[in-house]
Structure 1
Amino acid sequence: MSLIAPWRPRTADIPTQPGVYRFLDEKGTVVYVGKAKNLRNRVTSYFVSPERLIDRTRRMVQTARSIDWTVVQTERAALQLEYAWIKQYQPEFNIRFRDDKSYPYLVVTVSDDIPRVFLSRRKDIKGAKYFGPFANSWALKDTLSTLLRAFPVRSCTQSVYRRAKRQARPCLLGDIGKCAAPCVDRVSPEEHKALALGLAAFMDGKDDRVLDTLRYDMIQAAERLDFEKAAKLRDRIDAIETIMVKNTMVLDEAVDADIFGIATDDLHAAAYVFRVRGGRIRQARGWVLDGEEPLSEAELIETLLRDGFDDSFPPARVVALPRLPESHGVWQERLGQVRQEQGERGGVEIRVAKRGDLASLAETVRINARQTLQSFLSKRSTDVVARSAALAELGEALGLPEAPLRIECFDVSHLGGENPVAAMVVFEDGIPRKDHYRKFALDAPQDDTAGIYEVVSRRLRRLQEGSVEAAGEQDGPRQKSGFAYPPGLLVIDGGQPQVNAAKRALDDSGMDIAVCGLAKRLEEVWLPGRDFPVILPRSSEALFLLQRVRDEAHRAAISYQRSTRKRSLKSELVDIPGVGEAMANALLKTFGSVAQVRTADVETLQKVPGVGKKLAQTIFTSLHG
């Protein structure tokens, strides 16, 4: 970690998707905006040794006190958002985009009687459709030249058009087929306008005839061994694809919307919002929705509608949500009143974005909501103060003499009673100790309680054996295994029956170790021999720690069970005479499972590569007894 940036985010918390990041100073002022194809790679590059940074970047990092980011779906969308935010915030350390010079747009004057297509860096023509901005002017010009071959819309200025009309002679573009020449009536105004609308539709991503034509011409050129022409056509295809990525960051200037997204786990929820004004994302913000009790999706939606607006951003004309609220009309009326009280005209429409640019933005917002939730959970689990508070609170809630610095959690997993396994995970000081994790293959227990009794008994036996070995060492201490360290608390994934089973194992071993269980349904903490559970507050750091420990044990047990399931399925096939590892893999790849292999007849089995009639009959007979 760089000494000049103690606020640096954890690398694991930074997403690897494309996005835009913002450095902020101690007052919350944006001092730098940047984009990245991979946010993690780009953001971490700022936190190297200061002497490796150029002077301007080093001063920027020294000035900043925090960083946030917004995930988008494409690098193209990241460029659009970066452009908009640099124009909006005017960051001190940004150079590009701050002056009047900006990236070009492709303009189609669809409202004119004789539409025109051209490039412009300004957006002040009424009735025109704008596409962009685009990063590469040369790529845009080259692609426009190609598009005019399929959509020969006039691109000349008004003075050139009037002169050609007066002289009854088209310009060079008309002669080479890149203009339909409406100036000399080669096409009617209606036909020419249809061409312009077709070009606009292509730019909207609704017509891919140009790319199909170019790909066909490229293949034909290659077959004629005209590789130079094929290469040029390939470059034109690449140029078109470069600028034709769907633009969801720059919308029509009339778009005025608040787009909300939600991400949840069992006990926590996070929200994210894009506030679009005049077709630009003016704010992107995420926050955690926390309360005393878990909220349903309907309650979360109403929370967004109640608390998701402030004086700086009154409700937009359109509010897009993951689902409609139950009192749909009432909320529309209430938000409309708030909008009018803050001097805005028009009402509010609440809807779910199902198609078009708003739907694409809604998906991006949902991704950012999930990222906000993951960052919150990660920061909470790595906060030293929070971990210490969690351990102290847990010890107090369970009546322990001291905080349990080493916690071991057990979970049993099986598939319909088959392949029973168990896993033990270890947390020390609230952090996973993965080198001490252990996996157990169980001896076909009758139920989960018997499985818990078996795995806890085996763990305690290894602990006792380790103690005896340590006491008998003559040549100094040896490296201890994970089994040799005594836990301060055993946690069981389950309720009262499972906890009582673990307690029986402790009693039978003669060891006195605290044990509790965490039941999934209501997140209740059970102690052995108690008729009622311990209820920890939903916002409790102790409950959060127990959940992490329980969920990690569940994940480890499920992963181990799945791996043994695959081995057992394959072994069932390998036991058939004439079927080896490679053939078993081929059968599973073809049919998906042993059950599907069992349903196949001899003729179907023969279709597997390497399976002849005799082997197919052997496989069929073996699987059917």
Structure 2
Amino acid sequence: MADPSSYRPKPGQIPDSPGVYKFRDEHRRVIYVGKAKSLRQRLASYFQDLSGLHPRTRTMVTTAASVEWTVVSTEVEALQLEYSWIKEFDPRFNVKYRDDKSYPYLAVTMNEQFPRVQVMRGQKKKGVRYFGPYGHAWAIRDTVDLLLRVFPVRTCSAGVFKNAARTGRPCLLGYIGKCSAPCVERVSPEEHRELAEEFCDFMAGRTGTYIRRLEGRMTDAAEEMEYERAARLRDDIEALKKAMEKSAVVLADATDADLIALAEDELEAAVQIFHVRGGRVRGQRGWVTDKVEAVTTGDLVEHALQQLYGEETGDSVPKEVLVPALPELVEPVQEWLAERRGSNVSLRIPQRGDKKALMETVQRNAHQALGLHKTKRASDLTTRSRALEEIAEALDLDSAPLRIECYDISHLQGDDVVASMVVFEDGLQRKGEYRRFQIKGFEGQDDARSMHEVITRRFKRYLADKEKTGEWADGENGLTEEDGRPKRFAYPPQLVVVDGGQPQVAAAQRALDELGIDDIAVCGLAKRLEEVWVPGEDDPVVLPRTSEGLYLLQRVRDEAHRFAITYQRTKRARRFKASPLDDVPGLGETRKQALIKHFGSVKKLRSATIDQICEVPGIGRKTAESIAVALAQAAPAAPAVNTATGEIMEYATDTTDTTDATDAESETTAGSAGEPVSAGSPDERRGQER
């Protein structure tokens, strides 16, 4: 690990002008390329105190051994040079978008004497007109098959073309009218090129003009009683309309735009692009990237624009590019795009109307792409095994943690404090063993105390069930499921993960120590910097950026957070919407809270007399009578019951979690004594919904 001060340029040596810089490692390999409006200010930011740098930036500057720069005259030149260097050196710390597949294009080889229509992948060639990209090659072939009836352009390979010219006999498409057969000189090179240009015009979106022209020819043929020619023209029009139906109109006619949307988390980002030409979606593509540097959404957009248009010129760059966030320096990027197109390009964020609605669709596609990428990555057995091994090595565990439980606390400014427990076994979710907890011991923004209470309650039940099962070695003790596994909380994890840093980790470890449990490891994952904290250590464990173990811990933490916050929102909504006091006219929120504070609960308030209600400050006799009537008319809710003891835990309304149907099958209520109750019957799964 190098000390950045060892290669820091001397004061005044760096020019205060636009430019591009390169960091090199000890082997002279370029590891990072960046651009700056002011080289002096940007490079100075890398040589500050290491503790103040983003972890990924800190890793980069400590890996580097030297820095060099090149001064340019404008910011546009800096953008162009940065793109060229990234393509040339492929630096490891730069954002790299990678296609999730090799997208096929519909290509017309206008650089040949007899242009050919075909499916093409890979690098684009000069003189070839491209349309797309498309999601599947068969979609291109279906479109071409419909259009060849109207535009009989050559589709055969060079070998087939030469063989037909040698024998004087066209291929099958020439006989059935789907090729104009230039190989046997049925049309001249000029006529065939005109057909190819009309085909390109139609694919480029200029469809209305050509269809109106065919409709005029059909009408003229009918008036001249050439009904066979009119029928052929009618069929041609239907074929073109059918081809157009494959891409519905999403924006106003003649709109040419690319829409770019992003979905990202702390480690990865997915990009989706919709290509709209002539108001219709003509192609779609997507990328996924690892965040190997500290980047904002605007930076990701800028990198995506470089990737998308770095090799494009002319009409391949649309008039309008719609993005979710603008780069830090918008004007140079717009100038760069305008140079590549040859005319002005609008780069903006859609605010309303059809374009904003379409952007939301692209955004949903980006989120789905990121989710699919994560699912594929998580489902790989080899990857999961490597992730568990990396976690075991980083935390110095004796073996891979096959069962991981993660806990998260959620509240709204100290109110409605709840917690979640999610379970991953062998790197995969076990939603049937998720649990929810309601924190009743206190209210306030103290996540450490809440974490201590939850861990204590969960592992008290573990110890109780463990004692009943006699170490669960004997399956005849009556506390095993059909598959032989211990019921409820009797099955311990090898690793407890908490959402948070040192305070939450210390609280969890203290709870385990108080219970005498010393064979379960504890760690915490802090959101901001993705650092892994372990008990008793002043410094975090920093897993490598490409670590599968870090990725698995992040998935576990994010799932616990989702589970907790959904429960908290549902509980809060029920508290505000389901109170029988809402029906009392003239009773405001302040007096409602005063009533609950005085009596402790709605149940005790319901059993109070009118005189007792009048004792609450601000409540007159008439209001007290209205409260008593409203509470008497309100039917009591169904009680939640602990099936193991028969104890009524609390009254609650039945609220089914519509957020995730599978989660609703694995809920847990919290008992008044602070011990969680396992989900088993419908009564147990009432009220503590997340």
TM-score (ref. length: structure 2): 0.48
> In the alignment, what sits opposite 1:14?
none
CA distance in 2, matches of 1:420, 1:98: 63
Aligned-pair CA distance for 1:598: 8.0
Matched, 1:97 2:99: no
Asked whether the 8 Å contact 1:569–1:593 carries over to 2, the reply is no
What amino acid is aligned across from residue 331 of structure 1 in structure 2? V
> In the alignment, what sits opposite 2:299?
299
What amino acid is aligned across from residue 301 of structure 1 in structure 2? V
| Per-residue CA distance 1:242-264 (angstroms, 9 max, x = gap) | x99x96347645x5443322222
Asked whether the 8 Å contact 2:103–2:285 carries over to 1, the reply is no
Aligned-pair CA distance for 1:491: 0.7
CA distance in 1, matches of 2:350, 2:211: 24
Matched, 1:424 2:421: yes
Matched, 1:499 2:487: no
> In the alignment, what sits opposite 2:324?
322
| Per-residue CA distance 1:41-71 (angstroms, 9 max, x = gap) | xxxxxxxxxxxxxxxxxxxxxxxxxxxxxxx
What amino acid is aligned across from residue 318 of structure 1 in structure 2? E
What amino acid is aligned across from residue 449 of structure 2 in structure 1? A
> In the alignment, what sits opposite 1:459?
458
> Does the C-alpha gap of structure 1 residues 356 and 560 become closer, same or farther in structure 2, counting only changes over 3 Å?
closer
What amino acid is aligned across from residue 495 of structure 1 in structure 2? G
CA distance in 2, matches of 1:496, 1:454: 17
What amino acid is aligned across from residue 337 of structure 2 in structure 1? L
Alignment of 1:115-264 (within 5 A): 130=208, 248-249=249-250, 252=253, 255-264=255-264
Matched, 1:489 2:505: no
> Does the C-alpha gap of structure 1 residues 615 and 97 become closer, same or farther in structure 2, counting only changes over 3 Å?
farther
What amino acid is aligned across from residue 500 of structure 1 in structure 2? A
> Does the C-alpha gap of structure 1 residues 421 and 132 become closer, same or farther in structure 2, counting only changes over 3 Å?
farther
Aligned-pair CA distance for 1:312: 6.3
Q: Could you say what secondary structure the match of 1:367 adopts?
A: helix
CA distance in 1, matches of 2:292, 2:500: 23
> In the alignment, what sits opposite 1:381?
378
Asked whether the 8 Å contact 2:418–2:436 carries over to 1, the reply is yes
* Structure 2 stretches lacking a partner, 5+ long: 1-100, 107-130, 152-198, 224-243, 595-620, 631-690
Asked whether the 8 Å contact 1:413–1:561 carries over to 2, the reply is yes
Q: Could you say what secondary structure the match of 1:559 adopts?
A: helix
CA distance in 2, matches of 1:557, 1:387: 25
Asked whether the 8 Å contact 1:259–1:362 carries over to 2, the reply is yes
Q: Could you say what secondary structure the match of 1:552 adopts?
A: helix
CA distance in 2, matches of 1:571, 1:257: 48
Give the total of aligned pairs.
399
Asked whether the 8 Å contact 2:259–2:273 carries over to 1, the reply is yes
Asked whether the 8 Å contact 2:404–2:497 carries over to 1, the reply is yes
What amino acid is aligned across from residue 536 of structure 2 in structure 1? G
> In the alignment, what sits opposite 2:448?
449
Asked whether the 8 Å contact 1:409–1:492 carries over to 2, the reply is yes
CA distance in 2, matches of 1:569, 1:256: 48
Aligned-pair CA distance for 1:571: 7.4
CA distance in 2, matches of 1:553, 1:84: 38
Asked whether the 8 Å contact 1:257–1:318 carries over to 2, the reply is yes
CA distance in 2, matches of 1:101, 1:595: 75
> Does the C-alpha gap of structure 1 residues 558 and 371 become closer, same or farther in structure 2, counting only changes over 3 Å?
closer
CA distance in 1, matches of 2:374, 2:552: 11
| Per-residue CA distance 1:177-232 (angstroms, 9 max, x = gap) | xxxxxxxxxxxxxxxxxxxxxxxxxxxxxxxxxxxxxxxxxxxxxxxxxxxxxxxx
**CA RMSD after TM alignment:** 5.0
> Does the C-alpha gap of structure 1 residues 312 and 326 become closer, same or farther in structure 2, counting only changes over 3 Å?
closer
CA distance in 2, matches of 1:437, 1:303: 40
Asked whether the 8 Å contact 1:413–1:422 carries over to 2, the reply is yes
> Does the C-alpha gap of structure 1 residues 476 and 350 become closer, same or farther in structure 2, counting only changes over 3 Å?
closer
Q: Could you say what secondary structure the match of 2:208 adopts?
A: strand
| Per-residue CA distance 1:311-345 (angstroms, 9 max, x = gap) | 46753343333343333332233334445xxxxx4
* Aligned counterpart in structure 1 of residue 388 of structure 2, from 386, 391, 396: 391
What amino acid is aligned across from residue 543 of structure 2 in structure 1? L
> Does the C-alpha gap of structure 1 residues 282 and 564 become closer, same or farther in structure 2, counting only changes over 3 Å?
closer
CA distance in 2, matches of 1:524, 1:275: 39
Task: Give identity over the alignment, percent.
Answer: 40
What amino acid is aligned across from residue 428 of structure 2 in structure 1? I
Asked whether the 8 Å contact 2:466–2:490 carries over to 1, the reply is yes
| Per-residue CA distance 1:400-446 (angstroms, 9 max, x = gap) | 11111100111223344344332221110111112222223334246
Aligned-pair CA distance for 1:487: 0.6
What amino acid is aligned across from residue 424 of structure 1 in structure 2? M
Aligned-pair CA distance for 1:304: 1.8
Alignment of 1:400-415 (within 5 A): 400-415=397-412
> In the alignment, what sits opposite 1:519?
526
CA distance in 1, matches of 2:542, 2:551: 13
CA distance in 1, matches of 2:282, 2:263: 22
> Does the C-alpha gap of structure 1 residues 434 and 157 become closer, same or farther in structure 2, counting only changes over 3 Å?
closer
What amino acid is aligned across from residue 491 of structure 2 in structure 1? Y
> Does the C-alpha gap of structure 1 residues 370 and 591 become closer, same or farther in structure 2, counting only changes over 3 Å?
farther
> In the alignment, what sits opposite 2:551?
544
TM-score (ref. length: structure 1): 0.53
| Per-residue CA distance 1:439-486 (angstroms, 9 max, x = gap) | 233342463222211221222222222222222858466332131112
CA distance in 2, matches of 1:591, 1:337: 67
Aligned-pair CA distance for 1:277: 5.0
What amino acid is aligned across from residue 535 of structure 1 in structure 2? V
> Does the C-alpha gap of structure 1 residues 377 and 592 become closer, same or farther in structure 2, counting only changes over 3 Å?
farther
Aligned-pair CA distance for 1:499: 0.7
Aligned-pair CA distance for 1:501: 0.9
Aligned-pair CA distance for 1:375: 1.9
* Structure 1 stretches lacking a partner, 5+ long: 1-25, 32-81, 103-120, 135-140, 142-153, 162-242, 340-344, 575-583, 600-613
